[in-house]
């Protein structure tokens, strides 16, 4: 992999101007691209912008199963899920408080110009919009975890109010190990707001992505590979097969 961008970038943040180290790496042979900032790995995709991360394909499969046509995504990263969904013909609105994410997604990960990008906080966006969405996907992290205000009952109430009848909410949660109850705690909180909640997970793995689902989710099946990346498809498919729905732990 050869770095095509690694210079420090200045952006206006809440504490003033901040130095950031953004690294975009490209495989000159296969064309794959990855996006890292500091110790965080935000996105990895093939040369066409199709993700090589199994959890992105899981979110894609779940949203497609739901039949969603209007989708709101909170958190951009490299925008690979938005790129894949947009190619499936659905309408996408992306919300992120980092304008550089949109630039990176469009420049390196093929995010179409027709995807609507809204700069700002996800909760603030939900408070001001009157739009309703068939699916809302939350994949946002700060300091290694989902921001606190995006895991409150108040926020989940906003999400429910902005979903269409039959809509779904899907949330990516990082789980350290089987003793980590972060996803379970969020699931119970969502259950008080939505009723129907399911958790897609791969028990036994360390530092894994678990997907918490709420809304009209009872009939959803464990997702399988639909969009094959031009490299690494077998590994992604195998990782998807390892994901299973499990009961929330106390």
- 3-state SS, one letter per residue, for 104-150: HHHHHCCCCCCCEEEECCHHHHHHHCCCCEEEEEECCCECCECCHHH
Give dist(CA 242, CA 231) in Å, integer: 19
Classify the C-alpha dihedral 177-178-182-186 as positive or negative.
Answer: positive
CB 63 within 8 A of CB 37: no
Tokens representing 38 are 């500091």
Contact 78, 50 (CB under 8 A): no
Given a contact cutoff of 8 angstroms between Cβ atoms, the answer to whether 175 and 142 are in contact is: no
pLDDT of residue 19: 63
What is the residue extent of each domain of the chain? 53-220+229-246
Q: Tally the residues of the chain.
A: 250
The pLDDT score that the predictor gives to residue 143 is: 65
Q: Please give the DSSP secondary-structure letter assigned to residue 226.
A: -
d(CA 67, CA 223): 14
Return the CATH number of 53-220+229-246, one of 3.40.50.150, 3.40.50.2300, 1.20.140.10, 1.10.10.10.
3.40.50.150
Helical pair 54-66 and 233-241, crossing angle rounded to 10 deg: 70
Residue 112: Cβ within 10 Å count? 14
Q: Three-state DSSP class for 207?
A: coil
In the chain, DSSP finds a helix count (H) and a strand count (E) of: 7, 13
pLDDT number for residue 26: 87
Cβ-count burial 26-60 (b if 16+ within 10 Å, e if not):
beeeeebbbbbbeeeebbbbbebbbbbbbbbbbbb
Cα 121 to Cα 206: distance, rounded to the nearest angstrom: 29
pTM of the model: 0.91
Q: What is the DSSP string of 44-91?
A: EE-TTS-B--HHHHHHHHHHHHHT-SEEEEE--TT-HHHHHHHHTT-E
Question: Residue holding tokens 């992120």?
Answer: 96
Q: Specify whether the CB–CB gap between 71 and 88 falls below 8 A.
A: no
Give the whole-angstrom CA distance, residue 205 versus residue 203. Answer: 6
Q: What is the pLDDT along the chain (250 residues), one digit of tens a residue?
A: 334 443 333 232 333 335 678 899 988 877 899 999 877 889 999 999 999 999 999 999 999 999 999 999 999 999 999 999 999 999 999 999 999 999 999 999 999 999 999 999 999 999 999 999 999 999 998 766 899 999 999 999 999 999 999 999 999 999 999 999 999 999 999 999 999 999 999 999 999 999 999 999 999 999 999 999 999 999 999 999 999 999 999 9
């Amino acid at each position: 992999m050869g770095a095509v961008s690694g210079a420090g970038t200045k952006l206006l943040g809440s504490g003033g101007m901040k130095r950031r180290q953004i690294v975009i790496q490209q495989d000159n042979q296969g064309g794959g691209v990855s996006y890292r900032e500091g110790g965080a790995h935000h996105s990895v995709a093939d040369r066409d912008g199709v993700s090589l991360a199994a959890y992105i394909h899981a979110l894609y499969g779940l949203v497609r199963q739901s039949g969603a046509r209007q989708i709101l995504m909170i958190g951009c990263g490299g925008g690979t899920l938005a790129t894949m969904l947009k190619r499936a013909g659905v309408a996408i609105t992306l919300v992120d408080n980092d304008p550089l994410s949109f630039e990176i997604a469009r420049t390196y990960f093929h995010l179409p110009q027709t995807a609507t990008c809204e700069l700002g906080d996800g909760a603030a966006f939900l408070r001001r919009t009157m739009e309703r969405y068939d699916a809302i996907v939350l994949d946002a992290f700060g300091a290694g975890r989902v921001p606190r205000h995006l895991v409150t009952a108040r926020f989940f109430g906003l999400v429910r109010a902005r979903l269409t009848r039959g809509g779904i909410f899907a949330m990516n949660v990082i789980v350290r190990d089987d003793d980590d109850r972060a996803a379970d705690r969020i699931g119970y909180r969502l259950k008080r707001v939505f009723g129907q909640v399911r958790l897609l997970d791969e028990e036994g793995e360390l530092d894994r992505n678990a997907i918490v689902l709420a809304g009209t989710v009872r009939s959803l099946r464990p997702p399988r590979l639909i969009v094959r990346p031009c490299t690494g498809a077998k590994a992604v498919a195998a990782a998807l097969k390892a994901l299973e729905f499990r009961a929330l732990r106390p």
